[in-house]
Amino acid sequence: MAEGKFSVGACGKACFVCMRYSDKTCLGCPVELEKLPVIDCIFYDCAKTENISNCLQCTEYPCKQHRGISGLFCPIYRQKKWS
């Protein structure tokens, strides 16, 4: 990762705050969701439909899908096994 840059998930959250990303069990939305297409993420699907990389680029952010969603919502976070 280049100095001064960080990854942002499709949901718009900074990846470095996630324990799975920090311990390298998750490589970020684009990598993980392409490897595991059975995982469904409303934010990733919406970003692909809108042709953006994450919700922060959307003119409707924050939309109703963000209301009441916690970090535990992330399907990769829930699906991946802890090492």
Task: Count Cα neighbours of 23 within 13 Å in the Cβ-side half-sphere.
Answer: 8
Q: What is the pLDDT of residue 6?
A: 62
Q: What is the pLDDT of residue 2?
A: 39
Tell me how far apart the alpha carbons of residues 62 and 38 are, in angstroms, rounded to a whole number: 26
Q: What is the pLDDT of residue 81?
A: 61
- Sequence spans of domains, the chain: 15-79
**Contacts with 24 (C-beta within 8 Å, 6 or more apart), sequence order:** none
Q: What is the pLDDT of residue 82?
A: 54
Q: Comparing C-alpha atoms, which of 41, 36, 40 is closest to residue 26?
A: 36
Q: What is the pLDDT of residue 31?
A: 82
Structural contact between residues 37 and 75, judged by C-beta atoms closer than 8 angstroms:
no
* Averaged pLDDT, groups of 10, the chain, 83 residues long: 63 86 83 77 91 93 82 74 55
What is the pTM for the complete model shown?
Answer: 0.75
Structural contact between residues 20 and 57, judged by C-beta atoms closer than 8 angstroms:
no
